[in-house]
Structure 1
Amino acid sequence: MFNDRSPIYLQIADGIKNDILSGALKEDDQVMSTNQYAAFYQINPATAAKGFAQLVDEGVLYKKRGIGMFVSPDAREKLRSERRQRFFTEVVEPMLTEARRIGIDVDEIVQHLGAQR
């Protein structure tokens, strides 16, 4: 599951975010505890806790003292909005810049995308 491209705690956070976006985790669903997560993936519990803490700081998860962590209300919409913005700034804008550089106009891109459906 984990790779060497980014810290494990960030990969944990991204994995949970992906589960929320895909609908595998819904708002107010309880997520595995950090100890369960650490045991399941054979990682240090502190690493799992760091990933979960980031999600709490971002408002994606919330804690119920003595019970566990849960998906925050509106977490899916919040994540979807953030990812859409990131998609345009990190994917679409560089693609359009490169297209202009090599002489591809927007109509040609749209035509190609239409053919991919």
Structure 2
Amino acid sequence: MKAVFDDSKPIFQQIAEMIADDIVEGFLKEGDKLPSTTELSAFYQINRATAQKGLTTLVEGGLVYKQRGVGMFVQKGAKATLTEQRKQHFYKHYIEPLLDEAKRIDLNKSEIIHFIEQSLD
């Protein structure tokens, strides 16, 4: 997890996103225990309530589950869920605007594919 926050969004949301990133990248796997609110608050020097809100966001999203008295764990299927959500986000925020601009400047399908392939080489 990164250890620096920015002012672009609330800290609890950044905590949830960092944990989600760790799940997508495979640093946290299904069934792995997450750091506790105390550990997160001490590590990031934030209020425990802020850390708790970040974890609660993940629970509400079905990515993490609580085991009373033991902690919070990565839910089965969390990586697949996050990957699918991010693919949809990628399409909506990158592909749709790309295609809209391509239409405006009369790029055809083969030209778009050529640009993408050229960038990957």
Same fold (TM over 0.5): yes
Shift of 1:73: 0.3
Q: Secondary structure at the residue paired with 2:106?
A: coil
RMSD: 0.9
* Alignment pair present for 1:77 and 2:80: yes
1:93 matched residue in structure 2:
96
Take 1:15 and 1:98, find their aligned partners in 2: how far apart are those partners?
A: 32
Take 2:33 and 2:90, find their aligned partners in 1: how far apart are those partners?
A: 28
Q: Secondary structure at the residue paired with 2:20?
A: helix
Decide which of 26, 30, 34 is 1:27's aligned counterpart.
30
Unaligned runs of 5+ in 1: none
Q: TM-score, normalised by structure 2?
A: 0.92
Amino acid across the alignment from 1:40: F
Decide which of 33, 45, 51 is 1:42's aligned counterpart.
45
List structure 1 segments (4+ residues) > 3 angstroms apart after TM superposition. Answer: none
Take 1:2 and 1:104, find their aligned partners in 2: how far apart are those partners?
A: 39
Aligned length in residues:
117
Shift of 1:20: 0.2
Take 2:97 and 2:6, find their aligned partners in 1: how far apart are those partners?
A: 25
Take 1:25 and 1:55, find their aligned partners in 2: how far apart are those partners?
A: 13
Identity value in percent: 45
Amino acid across the alignment from 1:46: A
- For 1:11-40, what per-residue CA distance to the aligned partner results, in whole angstroms no more than 9, with x for missing partners? 111111100000000000001001100110
Q: TM-score, normalised by structure 1?
A: 0.95
Take 2:97 and 2:53, find their aligned partners in 1: how far apart are those partners?
A: 32
Take 1:52 and 1:98, find their aligned partners in 2: how far apart are those partners?
A: 38
